[in-house]
Amino acid sequence: MSGLSVSGRVKDDIKGMKIVADENLSLVRELFGSMGELVCLPGRSMRPEDVREADILLVRSVTRVNATLLASSRVRFVGSATIGTDHLDTAWLDGQGIAWTSAPGCNAMSVVEYVIAALFELWARGDVDWDRQVMGIVGLGNVGARLAVVLQRLGVRVLGCDPFVDLEGVEQVDIDTLLDRADVVSLHTPLTHAGPHPTFHLLDRSRLARFAGKVLINSGRGPVVDNAALLALIVSGCFDPGKVVLDVWEKEPDLDRALLAKIRIGTPHIAGYSQEGKWRGSLMVAEALSNFLGTAPPEAPALTGRALSEVKIVESGQGWSGLASLVKAFYPISRDDADLRRELLERDMLPGAFDALRKGYWPRREFSSGRVRLVGVEDPWLKERMLALNFRLEA
């Protein structure tokens, strides 16, 4: 977070403070309702006049927070309940002395589980081989590092690529070596346009052309992959669309329907949409805001550790199939894919369909909320892997 000092005017006037928030912020009324006058609006269409009288602005990734939105406002604090920050013009905010915060790591496990669920879907069709594949992770931050740990505990060989991080226990290589050696490439970088290693179109046409036979998963940011080049390669038969999984797209929410129609799994930017991920994001912003205001931290609803009441039973001796059915029971990723296809391909691309799917997303829980009982003969192999995926094993 930047600019932690509390402006005199806001501090003197906390009670009369106006908070404008994205209506999709989880727990928004519970956490922020008593902090001032709270106005909730659709994040994608927030305009300067919506925030002119606001002191505090709370957003998700769909609001571009920059001079255009805020120059005529009195906003002193911006909180984004997301991991990504590419929608915030942080240089401008810093220059204006406007404090800002995001929620690093809040939904990282949710994204890891998205990737695991996608891999099991591909495995069911023979496009992933858990015992032989080399998994390439690009970006070894909160998501990538957690994914590496889970995969290694599953017994999968992991290669990483991150020019800014040295992650113990993971063999690191540059992006081109990773493309040469990995069977699966999963992207977990921020979207950046400048600096020594910008990620905009990191997978451009020439790198995509080297994918032959590899799986591509993008649950980072859409523009890290050149979507037009990807579609062109698929159309010309140079890229197997059955091995492409996209949660994020260039030009969201107006993604390329022709690309969606071709690929194996397409979802509406919901990899991070576990209940826990959304709760944590809001809680982290609420804590940062209390810190900024010098008030007591909000009472956190005890949600994130709550287990589901239903216990799933898994028969021992089923190997990867046992794990696949368990993962699917908690996160049937094919449901998200089917919903997106139905709304964007079968129906007539209703305006706002992409955002409507996100707003009405089902209450997906993380694997750690899941109680599982392993029945049958002793099966240390399965037990170890169930624990690697964070399921709560019951005796």
Ligand X SMILES: O=C(O)C(=O)[C@H](O)COP(=O)(O)O
List, as residue ranges, the binding site for NAD(+): 162, 189, 247, 272
Task: Please give the structure tokens belonging to residue 59.
Answer: 């957003």
Rule CB under 6 A: is residue 141 a binding residue for ligand NAI?
A: yes
Task: Please tell me the distance from the alpha carbon of residue 160 to that of residue 171, in angstroms, as a whole number.
Answer: 6
**Contact with ligand NAI (CB under 6 A): which of 24, 80, 107, 275?**
107
**Contact with ligand X (CB under 6 A): which of 62, 135, 159, 260?**
62
The one segment of 64-72, 188-196, 252-260, 327-335 that binds ligand NAI by CB under 6 A:
188-196
Element (H, E) at 375: strand 371-375
Rule CB under 6 A: is residue 108 a binding residue for ligand NAI?
A: yes
**Contact with ligand NAI (CB under 6 A): which of 80, 186, 199, 275?**
199
**Contact with ligand X (CB under 6 A): which of 272, 298, 322, 370?**
272
| Catalytic residue check, 343 | no
* Residue ranges in the chain assigned as alpha helix (H): 8-12, 28-32, 48-51, 67-70, 90-96, 108-124, 142-153, 175-181, 205-208, 227-235, 257-262, 275-293, 319-330, 333-341, 353-359, 380-388
Closest distance of CB 369 from ligand NAI, Å: 18
Total residues at the site for ligand NAI (CB under 6 A)?
35
Task: Please tell me the distance from the alpha carbon of residue 113 to that of residue 391, in angstroms, as a whole number.
Answer: 11
Rule CB under 6 A: is residue 82 a binding residue for ligand X?
A: yes
| Catalytic residue check, 384 | no
Rule CB under 6 A: is residue 61 a binding residue for ligand X?
A: yes
Element (H, E) at 131: none
Closest distance of CB 290 from ligand X, Å: 21
In the chain, what are the helix, strand and coil shares in percent, each to the nearest 5?
Answer: 40, 15, 45
Tell which positions 216-275 bind ligand NAI, by CB under 6 A.
219-221, 247-248, 269, 271-272
| Catalytic residue check, 53 | no
Q: Which letter does DSSP use for residue 109 in this model?
A: H
Q: Tell whether the torsion through CA atoms of 173, 175, 177 and 183 is positive or negative.
A: positive
User: Edge-to-edge strands of the sheet including 184-187?
Assistant: 171-172, 157-161, 134-138, 184-187, 215-218, 244-246, 265-266
Rule CB under 6 A: is residue 84 a binding residue for ligand X?
A: yes
Q: Applying CB under 6 A, which residues contact ligand NAI?
A: 83-84, 104-105, 107-108, 111, 138-144, 161-165, 188-192, 197, 199, 202, 219-221, 247-248, 269, 271-272
Please give the positions annotated as active site: 221, 252, 269
Q: Applying CB under 6 A, which residues contact ligand X?
A: 24, 60-62, 82-84, 107, 269, 272
